[in-house]
Amino acid sequence: MIKRYRLRQLLAPTRGLQTALAGFLLGQIALILGLGLSFKNIIRPTLAGLSSTTDRLLGRFVDEERVAVTAHLVGGALIVVGVFVSIRAIVRGLGHVVDTLTPETKSGKVDAYFRRLELAQGPRIVAIGGGTGLSTLLRGLKNYTSNITAIVTVTDDGGSSGRLMREKGIIPPGDLRNCMVALADAEKTMTDLFQHRFRDDSGSLSGHSIGNLLIAALADQANGDFDTAVGIASAVLNIRGHVVPSTLDHVKLMAELEDGSVVSGETNIVGSGQRINRLYLDPSMCEPHPKTIEAIRQADLICIGPGSVFTSVIPNLLVPGLAEAIMASPSPKVYICNVMTQPGESEGLSASAHANSILRILEKRVIDYVLVNVAQPSADLIERYETVNQHLVEADLDQLRKNGFRPLPGDYISESDFVRHDPVKVAARLMKLLEGR
């Protein structure tokens, strides 16, 4: 799989131009044949008359014996001038078209072209998850490729997404929106607009994000076709890649807890405070999104997480066919382990326990590598997190190896007011893995 990616890198400069070059060559062949067939009756007499007229004009300025040489020199100069003027006109014409279609690239058009070409020839990456974790990863990956397929969970039942799901009957759009914004190549003003959330004093709009409302409106315009709505929103944001829900069916996440009780919905599962013995979807026989299985089959790299392990990561893999497709893929499968534990979901879980939880629930081995942070945040940040019962995930590398995983340890955190993955560091390590390092 890695060799296939390297071969595509070598052929990258010609991909996309092959059809154009073939058409150009066929056009030239047709032109030459046409000129050859017409030469005897039309072109030769015309050229002979032009040559005779040119010789008479040149004879007025140079000696007769120098007319032929002068004619060759003038002809060569005219060829050079003609080629220069033609190329300049074509370049200016194409530049005008580019300026009209994409005014934001008025400077650095060549750099922009080659950058987009480079991204278009990047590796095919599937990223699976939800919440803020997946969108953080996507911000890093989009610097290396535009061949990204983000497969996003659709079981969120809280906040703006939950309200729209109940009131409009649409699939929860929040996690999809976050991923689209993460992959966006649009102006910052547009992405900020998508992420704007109305304050609590906004009446019925309180808590809603404009992006969620826009997706709901687009679904209305598409007669309830949520997939079309996501596609239009993606086009508006000019995203690098594709964002798709794991399923277009309305599903609810169900959990069987350690005391034997069954809890319905993400919010209630996290609020239960009990160990989760089993997770399943209701209905269980939902259909995967049409693009998900094919994207996994074509992938050079499959990333699982980061994100809430039980409510963002695993729900995608419970959709029939997804885990099986991942297992069948020969590509590297990397679980990106969370940096901090989450109350009500992963208290006390080490890196190996996170990975084992996924395998335990799915009863399928969908992980080869575990990318795990070994850097230590500042003491102040650690203390602040501990006040809300969140702790640094233990990087138990030896246990990961004993369980058959290949750990990818490193400093992957970005410190600000929060301890989160640094998208640049994580993406760089994944690219090294893909290149065989």
Q: Which superfamily, per CATH, for 118-434?
A: CofD-like domains (3.40.50.10680)
Tell me the average pLDDT of the chain.
88
Confidence of residue 183 (pLDDT cuts 50, 70, 90): very high
Residue 92 has pLDDT above 70, yes or no: yes
pLDDT average, residue stretch 44-51: 73
Task: Name which of 433, 436, 254, 276 is nearest 354 in CA terms.
Answer: 276
Q: Averaged over 18-23, what is the pLDDT?
A: 75
Binned at pLDDT 50, 70 and 90, residue 26 comes out as confident
Q: Where are the domains of the chain?
A: 21-110, 118-434
CA–CA distance, 121 with 78 (Å, rounded to integer): 41
Distances (CA, A) of 189 to 107, 139, 310, 343: 20, 17, 34, 34
Helix residue spans in 289-350 (DSSP H) = 290-298, 314-317, 322-328
State percent of the chain over pLDDT 90.
Answer: 63
**pLDDT per residue over 332-365, tens digit each?**
999 999 999 998 889 999 999 999 999 999 999 9
pLDDT tops 80 at residue 318: yes
- Residue 286: DSSP 8-state: P
Q: Which helix (H) or strand (E) holds 369?
A: strand 369-373
Cβ 340 vs Cβ 419: under 8 Å: yes
pLDDT at residue 219 above 60?
Answer: yes
Q: What is the pLDDT of residue 109?
A: 59
- Which two structure tokens, joined as six digits, stand for 250? 């309305």
Tell me what the mean pLDDT of segment 402-415 comes to.
Answer: 95
DSSP state letter for 66: G
**CA-based torsion, 182, 186, 191, 192: positive or negative:** positive
Give the rounded percent of residues in the chain with a pLDDT score beyond 70: 90
pLDDT of residue 161: 93
Q: Report pLDDT for 115.
A: 73
Note the pLDDT of residue 12: 57
Res. 186 pLDDT band, cuts 50 70 90: confident
283 preceded by a cis bond (ω within 30 of 0): yes
Which pTM does this prediction carry? 0.81
Kindly tell me if the per-residue pLDDT of 46 is higher than 90: no
Judge whether residue 86 has pLDDT over 70: yes
> Is pLDDT at 40 greater than 70 in this prediction?
no
What single-letter amino acid sits at 15? R
With beta carbons less than 8 A apart as the criterion, state whether 313 and 128 touch: yes
If pLDDT is split at 50, 70 and 90, which confidence band does 90 have?
A: confident
Report DSSP letters for 342-360, one per residue: -TTT-TT--HHHHHHHHHH
Rounded Cα distance, 250 and 301, in Å: 28
Report pLDDT digits (tens) over 378-400: 989 999 999 999 999 999 999 99
Question: Of 134, 208, 128, which is closest to residue 173 (Cα–Cα)?
Answer: 208
